[in-house]
Every structure is written in C-alpha cells, then in structure tokens.
Amino acid sequence: MKILAMDSSGLVASVAFLEDEKIKGLININYQKTHSQTLLPMLDELLKTLGDSLDDVDYLACANGPGSFTGLRIGVATVKGLGLGLGKKVVEVSTLEALALNWQGVDGVVCPIMDARRSQVYTAAYIFEDQDAVPKEIIAPVNCTIDELFEKLAANGKKVFFTGDGVPVYREYIESNLKVPFVLPSAVNEYQNAANVAVLGKAYAMEGKAVDASLVTPVYLRKPQAEREREALLNAE
Amino acid sequence: MEDVYILAIESSCDETAAAVVKNGREILSNVIYSQIDLHTLYGGVVPEIASRKHIDKINQVVSKAIEDSKMELKDMSAVAVTYGPGLVGPLLVGVSFAKAMAYAAKLPVIGVHHIEGHICANYIANQELEPPFMCLVVSGGHTHLVKVADYGEYEILGRTEDDAAGEAFDKVARAIGLGYPGGPKIDRVSKSGNPEAIKFPRAKVGGSEYDFSFSGLKSAVLNYLNTASMNNEKIVTEDVAASFQQAVIDVLVGHSMEALDRYNFKKFAIAGGVASNSSLRAAFEEACAQKGVEFFLPPPILCTDNAAMIGSAAYYEYKRGTRSGLDLNAVPNLKLGER
C-alpha cells in the first residue's frame, strides 16, 4: 500500500511517502515561508527523488486539524485538489493524534499541546495500550486553557509526555504548575511530522475510513471570531 | 487551430465559482455558489467565514462545472485560478486547490488577475469585441478606469483614492437601513425616488484627473441624515438613495466620457458587480450613444464574481505562453498589469 501524506497545520510543512511498512521518503520544512508556496513543490520534489508517480498512490492522507486556520486550509485544499484530480480517496487524520505518535509506545499519557493564542491550547490526550500504531484517546480534542488541561492531567495522575508547538510557549508554566511527573520533547519530537500522518492514514485506510475528497473537512475546534461575537450578542439579549 | 478548454476557479471573496470556457469566448459551464445569505447576518463579508465555506464547497462546485461542460478533466488544456486581488484566506483555498488538482491531472496552471477577469467578461458577452477599448471596472472592492491596449495589456487611467463605488453603496445602504448587500437594494428603492431631491457633491480629486473618490460623498450622505434627524425633518429613503446613486453615476460617467475624448477610443465597456446597476447601465448607454461610441456590457450573471470571466482571461494568457509554477501564491493586493 502506498500513501502520500501531508501536514501543514502548524509551523512545519511536511510531506511523507509510505510504502507498506516503510516510510520511503519524508520532507519537513520549519522555516518562515508560507505553506502555500512550499507544500506542493515539496511534494513534487519528494516524488521525483523517489521516482514514484502520483498515479501509483493508493490513498492520500492529510492532517485535518486542529491548527492554524490558514495552514489547515492550505493542506486540506491541496489534498482535496489532488483527490479530485487523481480520483483517489483521502484519509483524514487528527493533527493531535498524529502528534501523539511522536511518543509512540511510552508508558504514560501522551499530551500534544498546540498554541491556540488567547491563552488557550488545542489539546487531547492518548495512551498506547500496545505497540499498535493507533493510540487510544483518553481526552478528546478540545480548545481549552492550559489550567483546564492541567486539572484533567492531575486527575489522571499518570506521567505526561508533552509534544507540540505549545511546548515552547508553555514550558515554564508547565515546569512550575503541573502537579504530575512529565517529560518535555526535544527537537526531534516536538513538531508535526507527515510520517505520523502516513502511518495513521494507513491504519485508518485499512479500517475502511478513507473518504471522497469532497468530504474532507478541516476540524477547527474554534468558531470564527465574528460568529462567536454574534452569538454572545444574541445570548445577551 | 486546436481548441483551448480552460477549467477556471474563482474564490477571491464570497463566491465559490468554477467554469469551463472554450477558446476564451464560449461558456461550456458556469457554476457559482454564493455565500451572500451567510454574510448578510454580519452586514458584510467575514473573511474567515468565507474561507471556511469555500473549502466546504470547492470540490462540489468544480465537479459540477466539469460535469456540466460534458467534458472530463483530462480533456482540459489548462486550469486557471484567481490569485489576486482579494481576501487572502479565500484566495488561498482556490489557489491551493487549483494547483494541486492541475498537478494531479498533469495540466498547466495559469494564475489570473481578478480585475482582468471582470474586463474579459465582456469578451464572452460580446463575441465581436476586440481591443483596443476602454473599460470601467466597478465593484465592491474596485473602481478602475482601464485602457485595454491589447489582450492581456492594461493601463490604469484612474482609480479610487478611497472607497470603491460598491463599498460606498454598502455603507450608504446600511446608514439608510436597507442592509447588505447595498448595490441591488439601492438600485431597487431608487426607482421610486427623486435623484435630484438632494444635491450631494461630485468629488474631483488631486491625483490623476480620472481618479475617483467616494468617501466624501458617503460622508455627505451621513451628514445629511444626521442633520435631518436632528432637525426632526422627514427623511425620504427613496430620495436619499436615488440622489446618492445619481451622484455616483455622474462621476463615473463624467470621468469615463472625458477619458474617452482624451484617448479617442471608439469602444467603451463596463464590468464588475456594480455594472449590474440598472441606472448605471442606462446612463452609460445614453452617454456613449451621444458620443457615437460603441457600448459593451456583460449580463448581470457575468458582472458578479464568476469563474467564466477568469477562464476567458486565462485563454489569452495561455496563448501568450503564461504558465504559473507550483509555488503560485495568493497575492491579496495584486496590481493590474503585474505578473
């Protein structure tokens, strides 16, 4: 099975090519250039280097959120265009679940945190019950404050393994406020990586979860500001 | 000569649109999904909401355009997409999607300027129209008086220094309680109003003699409304709308006719959303007839944002050899004539 996967939900633009059990190719760019300019050229470069054709890919996979609204849409629009152009199905993978694979197999709770600005994070929590690629979700993806997250982690009590771009933002706060043992990531497992998306994409494709490209939808976990303000006004009346 | 089929995509504001155009002039399909009802709740286009709607709808809209054309994606000569000017979030959806789809289908991509698209709507509506001619582009985001020297060659003779004409319609409509979108609503109520009831200013501005300014006119309307309500005078909405609309039309027609004289064009066209305004159309028709200048205008469906016009503009770019790279980006403030 061949899977072409991508993640542009955060600072990193990442594309990966999976063939059966192997990550055959991976390009990660974490540099200040817009994903709209980098993602497709990276994908083209990856395929050319591998000598693989897009036509031989079985499934496309994409991190569909949460994340930067614009970044998410660049990735999702790209995968929707590829899907329509190729007539191939797409596997949607949660950005948070893909991040959790940065700590695959550890004994404890894996907690991805993504900076959602406004003193909030996009987060979830997972455990690995066996060596299976798919982690088990114990806190569903949510947009909340870091304190709300800490309460849940403290209630669970287990050692926490953090990952995600929220770590550099909240590093000191975690160190001085979290009541349970924790491990912070290093440069190798802090950010999004399309290899993780490819691995989960394969697992979900085998479960029959691939969908038509037209159905792929970003998961924002947060309404647009104008909509939130309008609802607040309506509720106040 | 081989026929050229362009699959075009437009998502620069609040319409998700796709079309297939043959040889730049013939529409094989033209699909528009308008989000207007959604944005009416907010009194104007909300970029984040528009971006979300574009990504929800783009596959269905593009698939429908291909289906309606009775062709297949592989039969296309190229994929075209609006890459500016416009709202960055909405533009990025169309650009990212179009590039990826074209890449998958091994087709070239052509990035198209939104305003050039509006101008080219006239090529679809009027098969005999060829450059050179002069075109006034008036919409919610743009007011440009453009010299079309040749296919793909444009020179701006005048532009708005502040609000676009359509923007002024929206703001005045809000102030007199008509709501969004202002253009069609002012057009409708003006029909029962007196366009000479209130004398609003016709602004001349400092830059090019063909430049426009509508923010002063908008302020004059707001001042009139404030003064009238303070003095407990009755405000006749229809008269305010008609008088405001007449002031806009006078300036647009006046500048255009002066420029026509100066540059000696024999053909004049209008384009853009505000070109749907019935009084504006009638005023230009009359002014051009008086001068003996041939007047061209697209039907309203091609005045509003659509992808057929992008397909027409792309055809002439295709013939010139224009091809965009995989790194094509959205350029929200793209200038006319820039490449």
- Asked if residue B328 is part of any domain, the answer here is no
| pTM for this entry | 0.96
A66: DSSP letter = S
Residues B114 and B158 reside in one and the same domain: no
- Asked if residue B178 is part of any domain, the answer here is yes
Q: Alpha-carbon distance B25 to B3, whole Å?
A: 11
Q: Which of B51, B82, B97, B109 to mutate to test the interface with A (most CBs of A within 10 A)?
A: B97
Is pLDDT larger for residue A31 or for residue A186? Answer: A186
Residues B96 and B202 reside in one and the same domain: no
Q: Alpha-carbon distance B69 to B329, whole Å?
A: 28
Residues B193 and B259 reside in one and the same domain: yes
Decide if A205 touches B, using CB distance below 8 A.
Answer: no
Q: Residue for token digits 């399309």?
A: A194
pLDDT at B138 over 70: yes
Contact A77 B73 (CB under 8 A): no
pLDDT at B299 over 70: yes
- pLDDT attached to residue B208: 80
- pLDDT attached to residue B255: 94
| pLDDT band for position B336 (cuts 50, 70, 90) | confident
- Name the closest residue on chain A to residue B43, using Cα atoms: A226
**CA A90 vs CA A215, B17, B249: distances in Å:** 9, 23, 51
Mean pLDDT value across residues A131-149: 93
Question: Which residues are CB-neighbours of B339 under 8 A, at least 6 positions away?
Answer: B322
Q: Alpha-carbon distance B44 to B60, whole Å?
A: 25
Q: Is B50 helix (H, G, I), strand (E, B) or coil?
A: helix
Q: Give the residue numbers spanning the domain of B24.
A: 5-121+302-320
| pLDDT band for position B204 (cuts 50, 70, 90) | confident
Residues B78 and B136 reside in one and the same domain: no
Q: Alpha-carbon distance A225 to A221, whole Å?
A: 12
B284: DSSP letter = H
Residues 46 through 85 of chain A touching chain B, CB cutoff 8 Å: 54, 69-70, 73-74, 76-85
Residues B166 and B147 reside in one and the same domain: yes
- pLDDT attached to residue B101: 98
- Quick one: how far is CA A165 from the chain centroid? 11
What confidence tens digit (pLDDT) does each residue in B249-286 have?
A: 999 999 999 999 999 999 999 999 999 999 999 999 99
Q: Alpha-carbon distance A164 to B59, whole Å?
A: 31
Segments of chain A assigned to CATH 3.30.420.40: 2-95+191-220, 103-183
- Asked if residue B306 is part of any domain, the answer here is yes
What confidence tens digit (pLDDT) does each residue in A165-214 have?
A: 999 999 999 999 999 999 999 999 999 999 999 999 999 999 999 999 99
Whether residue B181 is preceded by a cis peptide bond, meaning omega within 30 degrees of 0, is yes
Long-range Cβ contact pairs of B68-73 (< 8 A, separation 24 or more)? B68/B20, B68/B28, B68/B29, B68/B30, B68/B31, B69/B5, B69/B20, B69/B28, B69/B29, B70/B28, B71/B5, B71/B20, B71/B28, B73/A84, B73/A85, B73/B7, B73/B101, B73/B105, B73/B107
Residues B193 and B256 reside in one and the same domain: yes
Q: Alpha-carbon distance B210 to B204, whole Å?
A: 9
Of A43, A74, A77, the CB nearest to B58: A77
- Asked if residue B127 is part of any domain, the answer here is no
- Asked if residue B41 is part of any domain, the answer here is yes
CATH of the domain at B88: 3.30.420.40
| pLDDT band for position B226 (cuts 50, 70, 90) | very high
Residues B293 and B307 reside in one and the same domain: no
End-to-end CA distance of chain B: 27
Residues B52 and B82 reside in one and the same domain: yes
Q: Alpha-carbon distance B245 to A7, whole Å?
A: 49
Name the helix (H) or strand (E) containing B289: helix B278-291
CB pairs under 8 A between A and B: 109
Residues B77 and B186 reside in one and the same domain: no
- Asked if residue B19 is part of any domain, the answer here is yes
Q: Alpha-carbon distance B266 to A235, whole Å?
A: 59
Mean pLDDT value across residues B321-334: 97
Given CATH 3.40.50.300, say whether it is the number of domain A103-183. no
Residues B241 and B136 reside in one and the same domain: yes
| pLDDT band for position A219 (cuts 50, 70, 90) | very high
Mean pLDDT value across residues B315-336: 96
Q: For A2-95+191-220, which CATH superfamily applies?
A: ATPase, nucleotide binding domain (3.30.420.40)
Q: Which of B42, B66, B326, B328 to mutate to test the interface with A (most CBs of A within 10 A)?
A: B326
- Going across the sheet that includes B109-113, the strands are B26-34, B15-22, B5-10, B78-84, B109-113
- Asked if residue B333 is part of any domain, the answer here is no
| Count of structural domains within chain B | 2
Mean of pLDDT over chain B: 95
Residues 158 through 177 of chain A touching chain B, CB cutoff 8 Å: none
- Asked if residue B329 is part of any domain, the answer here is no
Residues B27 and B115 reside in one and the same domain: yes
ipTM above 0.95, yes or no: yes
Rounded to 5°, angle at Cα B279 from B278 and B284: 100
Residues B194 and B255 reside in one and the same domain: yes
Instruction: Name the domain boundary from B282, B297, B312.
Output: B297
- pLDDT attached to residue B339: 63
Q: Is B326 helix (H, G, I), strand (E, B) or coil?
A: coil
Mean of pLDDT over chain A: 96
Q: Using the Cα atoms of residue B166, residue B169, residue B174 and residue B179 in order, give the sign of their dihedral.
A: negative
